[in-house]
């Protein structure tokens, strides 16, 4: 398969949230999202309820995919940072550890310089967590641990979804 | 690839609607959107041109309900069908869990169907997938039109690997949910097998 399955466990989820929570405060940002490159929202902190997070995640991933395509056309591996400047709010989008997208939304209470600085530090921490998460998922798969919720679903369970 | 979140107890899967330009991919999504209860769906996003041709993709998130305490969500995407948007089509296939090929039954779109099916197979391979190994269904759309080819002919030339196929008229909704359910079910069965 093209990429291994993305799995998130409680322990790493808490670690990740701690890092982006700190980033939210350090960078004076409004909202921070972590999105999988396939467009799935991993987590969000800050004024999350003000936004349609699912749409935001899918458009961010589309955006990264499109700029990634552009990068390849001109012979770059990827553009690892994107910045969108608005009248009030700005978006700082960066790729973490090659596979996750970190989205920071901030306004005039912060600055691009501050956000860039803080994002850099947080990215390193996130990379470590995601690396260990991947390793854990691979190990679990190899050892055949079956805490997988779908291992024992029946045809009835699936049919019930559509009734 | 599907995303399993043990922390929030969610499983997210990605379904891509593929097919030639104007075959009805967006119409399929619009019908699903109209007929789904508000609490089960998110906002539908269409990145389209002024003439309502899909430019990048349409996106519709659906929450189907729970299986064994896990919220099951499907993210439906369409690709832009027009030939020259091939670069965008490739990007949308990234991380796909299941594919619906929407064929235009009209005789004059025969070549476009074949070309698009070849393009799908090619792009899937390029992204590292094997179309024969992932959940895949075919929908023969626009069955209501007078110039529609027979299903036998379409099946012979498009469904060469004998996957599940459905007749549909996306504008009125006929066959739309049957197609979606079939691919969603295949994905869930795949998930079950995969572990």
Model ipTM? 0.81
Instruction: Report how far residue B59's alpha carbon sits from residue B3's, in angstroms, rounded to the nearest whole number.
Output: 17
Gap from B31 CA to chain A (nearest CA, Å): 16
* A154 against B39, higher pLDDT: B39
| Tens of pLDDT, residues B169-184 | 999 999 999 999 999 9
User: Could you give phi then psi for residue B142, rounded to 5 degrees?
Assistant: 65, 40
Structure tokens at A110: 């912060």
Tell me the CATH number at B104: 3.40.50.300
Contact call for A66 and B88, based on CB within 8 A? yes
Place of tokens 């993709």: B57
- Tell me the count of A-B CB pairs closer than 8 A: 136
Q: What pTM does this model have? A: 0.90
Domain range enclosing B21: 3-194
Residues of chain A neighbouring B185 (CB-CB closer than 8 A): 158, 162
Domain presence at residue A3:
no
Please enumerate residues of A whose Cβ is less than 8 A from a Cβ of B.
1-10, 13-14, 36-40, 42, 52, 54-55, 58-59, 62, 65-66, 68-69, 141, 146, 148-153, 157-158, 160-162
Our count of domains for chain B comes to 1
Place of tokens 């699903």: B32
Place of tokens 């009835």: A156
User: Could you give phi then psi for residue A49, rounded to 5 degrees?
Assistant: -65, -15
Domain presence at residue A50:
yes
> Which among B32, B43, B61 is the top mutation candidate for probing chain A, defined by the most A β-carbons within 10 Å of its own β-carbon?
B61
Structure tokens at B13: 């899967």
- Report chain A's terminal Cα–Cα distance, integer Å: 32
Instruction: Report how far residue B188's alpha carbon sits from residue B70's, in angstroms, rounded to the nearest whole number.
Output: 12
| Tens of pLDDT, residues A99-143 | 899 999 999 999 999 999 999 999 999 999 999 998 888 887 777
Mean local confidence (pLDDT), B37-48? 91
State residue A144's pLDDT score. 67
Structure tokens at B29: 């999504």
Mean local confidence (pLDDT), B53-62? 93
Query: What is the 3-state composition of chain A as percent helix, strand, coil, each rounded to the nearest 5?
Result: 50, 20, 30
Domain range enclosing A152: 10-161
Q: In this structure, how many other beta carbons lie within 10 angstroms of the beta carbon of residue B69?
A: 7
Domain presence at residue A4:
no
Contact call for A162 and B64, based on CB within 8 A? yes
Domain presence at residue A1:
no
Domain presence at residue A2:
no
Q: What is the DSSP pairing of strand A6-8 with strand A31-36?
A: unpaired
Mean model confidence pLDDT for chain A: 89
Tell me the CATH number at A117: 3.30.450.30
Based on the number of CB atoms within 10 Å of its own CB, is B42 exposed (0-12), middle (13-18) or buried (19 or more)? Answer: buried
* Pair B78, B180: CB distance under 8 Å: no
Our count of domains for chain A comes to 1
CB distance from B40 to chain A under 8 Å? no
Any idea what the Cα angle at residue A36 is, between residues A33 and A41, rounded to 5°? 50
Gap from A116 CA to chain B (nearest CA, Å): 27
């Amino acid at each position: 398969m093209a990429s291994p399955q993305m799995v998130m466990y409680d322990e790493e989820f808490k670690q990740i949230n701690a890092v982006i929570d700190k980033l939210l405060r350090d960078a004076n940002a409004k909202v921070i999202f972590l999105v999988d490159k396939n467009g799935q929202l991993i987590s969000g902190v800050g004024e999350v309820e003000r936004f349609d997070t699912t749409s935001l995640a899918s458009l961010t991933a589309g955006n990264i995919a499109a700029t990634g395509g552009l990068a390849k056309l001109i012979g770059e591996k990827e553009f690892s940072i994107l910045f969108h400047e608005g009248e009030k709010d700005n978006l700082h989008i960066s790729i973490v550890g090659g596979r996750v997208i970190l989205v920071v939304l901030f306004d005039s209470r912060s600055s691009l310089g501050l956000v860039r600085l803080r994002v850099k530090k947080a990215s390193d921490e996130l990379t470590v967590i995601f690396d260990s998460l991947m390793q854990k998922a691979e190990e679990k798969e190899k050892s055949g641990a079956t805490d997988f919720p779908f291992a024992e679903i029946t045809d009835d369970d699936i049919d019930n979804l559509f009734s | 690839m599907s995303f399993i979140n043990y922390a929030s107890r969610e499983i997210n899967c990605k379904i891509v609607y593929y097919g030639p330009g104007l075959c009805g991919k967006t119409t399929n999504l619009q019908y699903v959107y109209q007929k789904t209860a508000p609490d089960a769906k998110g906002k539908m996003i269409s990145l389209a041109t002024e003439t309502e041709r899909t430019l990048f993709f349409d996106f519709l998130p659906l929450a189907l309900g729970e299986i064994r305490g896990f919220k099951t969500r499907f993210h439906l995407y369409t690709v832009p069908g027009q030939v020259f948007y091939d670069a965008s089509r490739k990007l949308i296939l990234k991380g796909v869990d299941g594919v619906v090929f929407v064929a235009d039954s009209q005789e004059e779109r025969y070549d476009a169907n074949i070309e698009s099916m070849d393009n799908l197979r090619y792009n899937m391979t390029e992204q590292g997938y094997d179309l024969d190994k992932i959940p895949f269904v075919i929908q023969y759309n626009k069955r209501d039109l007078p110039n529609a080819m027979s299903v036998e002919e379409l099946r012979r030339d498009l469904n060469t690997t004998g996957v599940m196929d459905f007749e549909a008229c996306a504008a009125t909704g006929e066959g739309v949910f049957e197609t979606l359910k079939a691919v969603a079910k295949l994905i869930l069965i795949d998930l079950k097998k995969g572990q």
